[in-house]
Amino acid sequence: MVKHKKLAQWIDEMAAMVTPDSTHICDGSQKEYDDMIRITVKEGLATELNKQKLPNCYLFRSDPSDVARVENRTYIASKTKEQAGPTNNWIDPDELKKTMKGLYKGCMKGRTMYVIPFSMGPVGSPISKIGVEITDSPYVVANMHIMTRVGTKVLEVLGETGEFIPCMHSVGKPLEKGETDGGKWPCAPLDKKYISHFPEERTIWSYGSGYGGNALLGKKCLALRIATVMARDEGWLAEHMLILGITNPKGEKKYIAGAFPSACGKTNLAMLIPTVPGWKVETVGDDIAWMKFGKDGRLYAINPEAGFFGVAPGTSMQSNPNAMKAMNRNTIFTNVALTGDKDVWWEGIGYDAPGKVIDWNGNEWEQGKSDKPAAHPNARFTAPAKQCPAVDPAWEDPAGVPISAFLFGGRRPSTVPLVHQSFSWNHGVFLGSIVGSEVTAAALDVKAGTVRRDPFAMLPFCGYHMGDYFKHWINIGSKTSSDKLPKIFYVNWFRKTADGKWLWPGYGENSRVLKWVFERCNGEGKAVETEIGFMPTVDAIDRTGLSDVSEQDMKELLTVDRKGWLAEIDLIKQHYANFGDHLPSELKAELEALEKRLK
């Protein structure tokens, strides 16, 4: 029984539209999770994996058309197009609702409508927000169990009048009488998929996709797109950032948050095992940070999620042992390859495929015999955060953790040095606003290999005009004294030589850069003032025990490529031109100052 009148009304209204065969209010129990898995196994949508190697783990294969976020079918339906800004797709909200109501009509026929009360952030924390997702996908229910806090305990906090964000979802595949999915992942064709946000109403409507960020509505839709709007209105930050704790050999600890575009190694950085002796990194979150000012004037962050929805390919015992250990039980795998003994395999797992495997399309696959990968490049694991061996003791602290530094970065083969620090808060906001990255596979509809500007790594996730979002960041800087604000750094692990070789080994070695960041936050760490910001001197990055980066490489990683930056200025001008008079004057001034320094 739902005691919350508005919620009960909304459930009735949605049920009348989608006409499911039955309704189930999720209680969040283990039995419920097990039931979801049982249903999907029975339907032929999930395969149980090797019980000895991967207890309570299951493999799902999605439809080949439904493998990633669909940015060109994602809409910010604010009242006006201008409010959504130049980086978002916009449709008039009334028109969009009309179209979607047409699609939703009867779309849950033959299915169960699940109602999932969920909390983003620890249940009852003042920073947390409650959402309720309606879905017809047991796969979504199971994933939401891992990624969020779900069930009766959330309804209890909501009480009879609490605020919740309604999140409507359907895979868009009604069933005729007697019809079943018959092992086929249900979804709608691409031109019928809609991932829609109504920022004024703080409502989400998603139709036609069962995959990841399109369907697990607590993640990108609520915790970023809708949350950015709430954060703007309420004076806080909702960001596409990892959060890590770093402790020096003396036992002093700081927390760092970092924004990197999708598939730039946020999960690896969040779970990094430092190679610098005596240092320790612990994980608070790998994808999203919500930050509010504490009474002491510092920014405190929580990870609103409870699990990791990480990219599997490239994850190995070498690149990220903590992730590998987090996903060795109670995990859902999607679109990875299946071995003969029901283990999982993917490209970059660190060893060859053991004989013939079944690829993500369900076909036999042998290493070296196919030019297609066995696992989809955006194949995922959904694993509970608490299973990560490096999870931070404060990861569920309702008060959050105090942030000392922000990192921005992306995949930039040239121009951008290994690390530089902003001169000021506004200069740091400028650095965030110019983030760019080579594109990979996290979104379906952008061309891999090209560099796209992805300000604050929020291009697909900001729920309002990006120029106003920049201004919000500028405003945050004036809410407290500058010594209390996090210091801002731009990092680039992805520099290459002219002949295409990596200059920096990355992974655990990134701890050497984090060490310098830590020192800078303490007013230490050697640095020189350059045209683009403070840069470490070549000897300021600790290279003890690091043999494969020469003094010459280090110099290349830490010089200002003046020619490259002057070319970058022109690109930034083009990028900024998109924001018209919404571009804050402070950022225009930062750009002009940079140009002057370089010339």
Interface ranges with Mn ion (CB under 5 A): 262, 287
435 Cβ contact partners less than 8 Å away, ≥ 6 residues apart: 259, 261, 408, 409, 410, 453, 454, 455, 456, 457, 490
CB of 213: closest distance to ligand OXD in angstroms? 5
Binding ligand OXD by CB under 6 A: which of 88, 262, 426, 511? 262
What is the per-residue burial (b if ≥16 Cβ within 10 Å, else e) of 467-491? bbbbbbbbebbeebeeeebbbbbbb
With CB under 5 to 8 Å by kind, the binding choice for 169 among ligand OXD, Mn ion, none is none
Q: What are 435's two structure tokens?
A: 């983030």
Distance CA 594, CA 590 (A): 6
Nearer to Mn ion, 71 or 586 (CB): 71
Closer residue to ligand OXD, CB minimum distance, 137 or 426: 137
Measured over the CA atoms of residue 392, residue 306, residue 78 and residue 212, the dihedral's sign is positive
How many residues lie near ligand OXD (CB under 6 A)? 7
The answer to the question of residue 241 lying near ligand OXD (CB under 6 A) is no
Q: Of Mn ion, ligand OXD, none, which one does residue 66 interact with (CB within 5 to 8 Å by kind)?
A: none
Tokens 């606003």, residue?
433
- Looking at the DSSP assignment, which residues form a beta bridge with residue 113? 23
Helix 30-42 vs helix 138-147: crossing angle, to nearest 10: 140
Which of the listed partners (Mn ion, ligand OXD, none) does 520 bind, with a CB threshold of 5 to 8 Å by partner kind? none
Q: How far apart are CA 142 and CA 160, in angstroms?
A: 26
- Three-class secondary structure assignment of 512-557: HHHHHHHHHHCCCCCEEECCCCEEECHHHCCCCCCCCCCHHHHHHH
Residue 396 near residue 120, CB atoms below 8 Å:
no
| Cβ distance to ligand OXD smaller for residue 149 or 219 | 219
Interaction partner, residue 456 (ligand OXD, Mn ion, none; CB < 5-8 Å by kind): none
* Residues 470-509 within binding reach of ligand OXD (CB under 6 A): none
State yes or no: residue 382 binds ligand OXD (CB under 6 A).
no
Query: Which helix or strand (DSSP H or E) is residue 332 part of?
Result: strand 332-334
Least distance between ligand OXD and beta carbon 120 (Å)? 15
Nearer to ligand OXD, 267 or 415 (CB): 267
Rounded to whole angstroms, how far apart are CA atoms 132 and 11? Answer: 10
Give me the sign of the Cα torsion angle 308, 311, 312, 318: negative
Residues numbered 171 to 200 that lie near ligand OXD (CB under 6 A) are none
Query: In whole angstroms, how close is the CB of 317 to ligand OXD at the nearest point?
Result: 22
Of Mn ion, ligand OXD, none, which one does residue 69 interact with (CB within 5 to 8 Å by kind)? ligand OXD
Say whether 438 sits in a helix, a strand or coil: strand
Handedness of CA 284, 423, 228, 260 (dihedral sign): negative
Looking at the Cβ atoms of 33 and 408, the one nearer to Mn ion is: 408
Note whether 174 and 192 are within 8 A (CB).
no
Q: Which is nearer to ligand OXD, 309 or 381 (CB)?
A: 309
Catalytic residue among 167, 187, 221, 264: 264
User: How far separated are the first and last CA of the chain, in Å rounded?
Assistant: 68
As measured in angstroms, the least distance from the Cβ of 285 to ligand OXD is: 11
* In the complex, minimum distance from the CB of residue 287 to Mn ion, in angstroms, rounded to a whole number: 4
Selected from 166, 213, 402, 410, the binder of ligand OXD by CB under 6 A is: 213
Pairing mode of beta strands 337-338, 332-334? unpaired
Where are the strands (E) in 81-176, listed by range?
112-120, 129-135, 149-150, 165-170
Binding mask 432-471 for ligand OXD (x = CB under 6 A): ----------x-----------------------------
Closer to ligand OXD at the Cβ: 287 or 396?
A: 287
Q: Which is nearer to ligand OXD, 137 or 262 (CB)?
A: 262
Partner whose binding site includes residue 307, from Mn ion, ligand OXD, none (CB under 5 to 8 Å by kind): none
The first and second tokens of residue 218, run together, are 């607590």
Q: How far is the CB of 267 from Mn ion (least distance, A)?
A: 9
**Footprint (CB under 6 A) of ligand OXD, residues 268-307:** 287
Largest CA distance in the chain: 72
User: Other CB atoms closer than 10 Å to residue 23's CB: what's the count?
Assistant: 15
- x-or-dash pattern for ligand OXD, window 304-343, by CB under 6 A? -----x----------------------------------
Minimum CB separation from ligand OXD for residue 442, in Å?
A: 4
* Identity of the residue, 147 or 299, whose beta carbon is nearer to ligand OXD in the bound complex: 147
From the list ligand OXD, Mn ion, none, pick the one residue 442 interacts with, judged by a Cβ distance below 5 to 8 Å according to partner type: ligand OXD
Q: 278: which 2 tokens?
A: 């005596």
- Least distance in Å: CB of 288 to Mn ion? 7
If binding is defined by CB under 6 A, does position 69 make contact with ligand OXD?
yes
Q: Minimum distance between the CB of residue 69 and ligand OXD, rounded to whole angstroms?
A: 6
C-beta separation of 465 from 83 below 8 A: yes
Residue 48 bridge partners (DSSP) = 58
462 tagged catalytic: no
Phi, psi of 377, deg, nearest 5:
-55, -20
Which residue has its beta carbon closest to ligand OXD?
262
Binding site for ligand OXD (CB under 6 A): 69, 212-213, 262, 287, 309, 442
Give the residue numbers marked as catalytic: 264
